[in-house]
Chain A
Amino acid sequence: MTSAKKLFTSARILILVAALLLSALAIHPSFDKEGVAIRGVVKNSSAAIAGIESPDANVQPMNREVVKSINNILINSVADYSDATKNLEVGQQLILRTDRKVYVLEVKPLYKTTVLNQTQLVNKTIYNETLNATVNVTVEEPVVEHEVIGVEDVGLTVYPKPVNNIRRGLDLEGGTRVLLEPQEEVDDQTLDLVISNIKQRLNVYGVSDIIVRPTKDFAGNTYIAVEIAGVNKDEVRELLAKQGKFEAKIGTDSVFLGGDDIAYVCRSPSCSGIDPQRGCGQISNEEWACGFSFTITLSPQAAGRQAAATSVLDVLVDESGEGYLSENLTLYLDDQVVDELRIASELKGSATTQIRITGSGAGITVRDAEIDAIANMKKLQTVLITGSLPVKLDIVKTDAVSPVLGQTFIKNVMLIGLLAMLAVIVVVFARYRSIKVALPMVITMVSEVIILLGIASLIGWRLDLAAIAGIIIAVGTGVDDQIVIADETMSSRRKEQLGWKERMSRAFFIIMAAYFATVVAMLPLWFAGAGLLKGFALTTILGVSIGVFITRPAYAKIVEYFLKD
């Protein structure tokens, strides 16, 4: 077997090639720029009724549905889209072609809804969770008046079609800037509390790329400016403007609140998700409902309050002979009932800390109902973990805001990246006078960047400035390590005393020591929690790990092939 063949069949090279191929697949670059991608679909909007599904937030950018044309007019930018959906008339039909399907949307009127100060009795078919069946009931409801005041938006939020799966962060892509105003006057301390609560809430919800800062206008009014990337307006409203006051009551006694009363909220799939006992069911022709549940652990104080509240209740027995207490545990979110739970009679007066929280979601298809239920669950979990905001906030305005780093930034970074690699090669060549040492270095540098971007695409990591700094460090450390490999293997004196394997193991001794020192230095920054530190640390750790475990061994093999006698 020739040594070239040996080189290309060596495990290290094969691993590198496989990693590169998988990364290319994950990044999924494309040259098709036509269309606008769907970020979200507003509930009950004409788009939702026409059957356009709201994409899950975790869907890869390239797997998003792309609007190609509306009424046969090609859509190539967000501006084209807004032109095509402007000045519509009620009842007008839109033929919306995406890369998957053709939808027919019917434009709906926009109502102004006024709740009148009188009530009426209505016969309704509702879904009873305990019986798991639909029942007919008569309920008293306030009279609501609908007045047509215009045309409702078709209900899609779109953004320029992505050309690869690499997600960009706030400072590279821009996002939404939301200005919030506290409903009452707050001091600086409360403001700090609100800001940290908002950050924590968004983090728990899964949005980590955020900037929250206090703002004042010249009249002295205080606002909070929040910038978020890749979140649609509904989610912003749900998460930021709601106070998120959670309260669990038994009768009129408050048993526990969100925040301090909750020791732990389980969010892993084993104890949270669509409730396996209740599952999903069809309520009526057009509506499905799904139940969710998750477990929480109460603080001892809250458990004590629960014991005191249940100890005075009577025990009742239901049809199937199971005992339960005379009052239910009722969960309120922002003073609205989320769910009512029957309390089993064994729990009377006991200070139990494990509680199962349940609730539900609805939608026009099973999938919609499932998504809604999971979204409600996430919201509830977020509130339970973070507690409520000290004040209510109003959304003053929301704007789409361009990235801090400007439009030409990425092009500039790529140009500099290429030139910097060239510069490194020149220095390496000047030192070793061998293209056989320098060339493999280029290959490893480029591979490292590609694999890092591949992993970032795969895990949905948002690339921002901190991440770019991390990539630079990873590649820089990579070059350092390769110089160590080159020096340890090429030094004449050692070469004669030591075998190739020993020389390599000496090189890798240094590389591994530097690797561990870097990783342990980055871990505390990762755990520090703040966005910038975390992003930098994660990319650096990821980058140097790829270097040490994938590209460095391959580089060593290539150098061995070129230089071994």
Chain B
Amino acid sequence: MQGERKNVRRTDRIKRKHQPILPIKKTPSKEVEERRQGNIRAARRGGFYDKHYKKLLIIPFIILLAAIATITAHYATTGDFINRGVSLKGGLLITVPTETVGADELGKALNTVFTDHDIETRSLEDQGRQIAITISADLATEDEQQVERFIKAIEQATETDRNDYSIETIGSSLGASFFAQTSKALFIAFIFMGLVVYLYFGTHFKVKVAAAVATVVAAAMMYSSSSTLNVIALLIGAGLIYTYIRYSIPSVAVILAAFSDIVVTLAVVDLLGIKISTAGIAAFLMLIGYSVDTDILLSTRMIKRKEGSLYDRLISAIKTGLTMNFTTMAAVLIALFFSESQVISEIMTVLFIGLLADMVNTWLQNAGILRWYLEKKEKEEGSA
């Protein structure tokens, strides 16, 4: 009994605290009045958005096109989509025999001088004691001056003689086929995501079955090493996208948002000249996870919910979704600030850029597309 009473008091306290933001209990008449007022306010606020959402929709597409142009330009000038760090590109591997200087210490010293280069230092141990440090850096052996400067810096930092060093060039730590494999996997991931969204939110049972079969077939073909089958898989993928444009716009929106997130982030990373290592690749993959959460929330609120106007539902989704975005953003910023490791900084920088891109892509692109689609549907249903 005691417990229950305490409980009541506790809930009372929250109610009081919350009244301005989340009115938990009110008299019905007040509630109705409030809602009416709210609707009027919403209509007034929504007026601008409702009038201009199609124009707003242009923004994310301009960004996406600019991003694609940036990446293409980057590819044309450097021959690669990203600036690869030493773990992805390879470079020089110098082994310096030293028992006194620590690997982390040397790494920091070199990184402050050669800020433009990606440098990794590790210690080699024998019987539990350090015998040498290996330094890998994304230097080209042809650039003799640079290499010379680098070796000099090592000599100074470790007080060792270069004649004791062993110098090798080293290849990428991810195999040559890694990027091809990743693109294939991402393609399959996207069509699967589209399928799940269609199954969840779409109609037409027979089309659903056909889409599911086509998706599985395309996935299987994509994994095969035959390039003919790969091309067929791509064609099936295109067919699926066409199907979703006709039957399941939310699927298109989700795929497009995840794709845009990755492409826009990639472009910004290229523009800023950030070098990407294996950690950065992991961060790009993480973007998919974050992208999906807000998109699904938005789709559910806009399509499955019936209360309020489209604008009201959008606002409720934005309220929840922005809370999601802000919690993630807060965590990322904290991590960026307190990171002592290059790897963490790299992951968090990519995530930070990606989350900004995701906000635009979810709340302008995805929301705009859904808005358009639902409005059209309502009109069609109204005229029918």
A interface with B by C-beta (< 8 Å): 2-4, 77-82, 174, 177, 192, 195-196, 199, 211-218, 223, 225, 399-409, 412-413, 415-416, 419-424, 426-428, 431-434, 436, 465-466, 469, 472-473, 476-477, 479-481, 483-484, 487, 490-497, 509-510, 513-514, 516-518, 520-525, 527-530, 532-533, 536-537, 540, 562-563, 565
- B24 at the binding interface (Cβ < 8 Å): yes
Cβ of A436: which chain B residues have Cβ within 8 Å of it?
14
Tell me how far the C-beta of B186 lies from the nearest C-beta in chain A, rounded to whole angstroms: 8
**Chain B residues in 8 Å Cβ range of A403:** 122
A-B contact pairs, 25 of them (CB 8 A): A81-B127, A82-B129, A195-B175, A215-B170, A217-B169, A399-B125, A402-B123, A406-B104, A409-B344, A424-B331, A427-B323, A469-B283, A469-B285, A476-B289, A479-B327, A487-B316, A520-B193, A521-B289, A525-B189, A530-B178, A533-B181, A533-B185, A536-B282, A563-B11, A563-B14
Complex CA–CA separation, A80 to B301 (angstroms): 63
Residues B307 and A433 in contact, CB atoms below 8 Å apart: no
Apart from A408-B340, A524-B188, A533-B182, 6 more pairs, CB < 8 Å: A174-B125, A427-B330, A433-B21, A497-B307, A513-B196, A524-B219
Q: Which residues of A contact B347 (CB under 8 A)?
A: 469
Residues of chain B at interface, number, CB under 8 A: 109
Residues in B with CB closer than 8 Å to A174 are: 122, 125
A contact residues around B104 at 8 Å (CB)? 406-408
Q: Are B320 and A514 in contact (CB under 8 A)?
A: no
Q: Which of B3, B127, B290 has a CB less than 8 Å from the CB of A4?
A: B3
The answer, among A216, A419, A476, A563, for a CB contact under 8 Å with B168, is A216
Check if B319 is an interface residue, CB within 8 A of chain A.
Answer: yes
CA distance A532 to B290 in the complex (A): 19
Chain A residue nearest in CB terms to B340? A412
Contact A79 B129 (CB under 8 A): yes
A215 and B171: CB pair below 8 A?
A: yes
Q: How far is the CB of A308 from chain B (nearest CB, A)?
A: 31
Give chain B interface residues in 298-341, CB to chain A under 8 Å: 299-301, 304, 307, 316, 319-320, 323-324, 326-328, 330-335, 338-341
List of A residues within 8 angstroms of B192 by Cβ: 520-521, 523-524
Whether B278 is near chain A, meaning CB under 8 Å from some CB there, is yes
- Nearest first, the 4 A-B pairs at minimum CB distance are A78-B128, A82-B127, A524-B188, A79-B128
Inter-chain CA distance A532–B185, complex, in Å, is 13
Contacts of A3 in B (CB 8 A): 3-4, 7
Nearest neighbor of A3 in chain B, beta-carbon distance: B7
Separation of A428 and B331 alpha carbons in the complex (Å): 12
Decide: A496 and B31 in contact? CB cutoff 8 A: yes
CB within 8 Å for A433 and B18 given contacts A416-B334, A416-B339, A480-B324:
yes
Q: What is the 8 Å Cβ interface bit string for chain B, positions 136-158, against chain A (1 contact, 0 not)?
A: 00000100000000000000000
A280 CB, nearest partner CB in chain B, Å: 37
Partner among A199, A216, A422, A483 whose Cβ is within 8 Å of the Cβ of B169? A216
Given the interface pairs A405-B341, A405-B343, the reply to whether A513 lies near B296 with Cβ below 8 Å is: yes
Residues of A contacting B286 with CB < 8 Å? 469, 472-473, 536
**Does residue B173 face the partner (Cβ distance < 8 Å to A)?**
yes
Q: Which of A509, A520, A528, A562 makes the CB contact (< 8 A) with B196?
A: A520
What's the least CB distance linking B233 to chain A, in Å?
A: 12
Decide if B330 touches A424 in the complex (CB within 8 Å).
yes
A2→B4 CA distance, assembly (Å): 7
Binding site for A on B (CB under 8 A): 1, 3-4, 7, 10-11, 14, 17-18, 21-26, 31, 35, 87, 90, 93, 103-104, 107, 120, 122-130, 132, 134, 141, 166-176, 178, 181-182, 184-190, 192-193, 195-197, 200, 219, 223, 254, 258, 278-279, 281-283, 285-286, 288-290, 292-297, 299-301, 304, 307, 316, 319-320, 323-324, 326-328, 330-335, 338-341, 343-344, 347
- The answer to whether B195 and A520 have CB atoms under 8 Å apart is yes
**Are A517 and B197 interface neighbours, CB within 8 A?**
yes
Known interface pairs A216-B168, A494-B307; A517-B193 also in contact (CB < 8 Å): yes
Contact of A431 among B126, B128, B175, B323 (CB under 8 A): B323
**What separation, in Å, do the CA atoms of A400 and B134 have in the docked complex?**
11
The answer for the CA separation of A404 and B124 in the assembled complex, in Å, is 11
Q: Contact between A400 and B125 (Cβ–Cβ < 8 Å)?
A: yes
Interface of A is mostly: helix
User: By the criterion CB–CB under 8 Å, are A218 and B167 in contact?
Assistant: yes
For B304, give its contact among A4, A434, A494, A509 (CB under 8 Å). Answer: A509
In Å, the complex CA distance between A416 and B293 comes to 23
Q: When the two chains form their complex, are residues A433 and B338 in contact, meaning their CB atoms are under 8 A apart?
A: no
Contact present for B181 and A529 (CB under 8 Å): yes
Task: Kindly identify which residue among B35, B90, B132, B320 contacts A493, using a CB–CB cutoff of 8 Å.
Answer: B35
Closest to B336 in A: A416
Q: Which B residues are CB-close (under 8 A) to A533?
A: 181-182, 185, 285
Inter-chain contact A402/B124, CB cutoff 8 Å: yes
Q: Which residue on B lies nearest to A218, using beta carbons?
A: B167
Q: Are B24 and A528 in contact (CB under 8 A)?
A: no
Given A217-B168, A518-B292, A510 and B297 contact (CB-CB distance below 8 Å): yes
- For B4, what are the chain A residues with a Cβ–Cβ distance below 8 Å? 2-3
Cβ–Cβ contact B319 & A525, under 8 A: no
Contact A434 B17 (CB under 8 A): yes
Most B-side CB within 10 Å, residue of A518, A520, A563 = A520
Complex: how many Å from CA A509 to CA B123? 51
For B258, the chain A residues whose CB sits under 8 A away are 521
A423 with B320: CB separation less than 8 A: no
CA gap between A412 and B340 in the complex, in Å: 7
Question: How many Å lie between the Cα of A497 and that of B35 in the bound state?
Answer: 14
B330 touching A423 by the CB < 8 A rule? Answer: yes
Report the minimum CB–CB distance from A98 to chain B (whole Å): 18
A75 to chain B, nearest CB (A): 11
Q: Contacts of A416 on B, CB cut-off 8 Å?
A: 334-335, 338-339, 344
> What is the minimal beta-carbon distance from B48 to any residue of chain A, in angstroms?
24
Q: A402-B124, A412-B344 are in contact. Are A530 and B181 (CB under 8 A)?
A: yes
Q: How far is the CA of A472 from the CA of B132 in the complex (A)?
A: 34
Report whether B122 and A401 are in contact in the complex, using a CB–CB cutoff of 8 Å: yes
Contacts of B128 in A (CB 8 A): 77-82
Chain A residues contacting B14 (CB-CB under 8 Å) are: 434, 436, 563
Decide if A415 touches B196 in the complex (CB within 8 Å).
Answer: no
B93 to chain A, nearest CB (A): 7
Contact B326–A427 (Cβ < 8 Å): yes
Choose among B4, B35, B319, B331 the residue with the greatest number of A CB atoms under 10 Å from its CB: B331
Judge whether A415 and B122 touch: CB under 8 Å. Answer: no
B282 and A483 contact, CB distance less than 8 A: no
Q: In whole angstroms, how far apart are the Cα atoms of A280 and B168 in the complex? A: 49
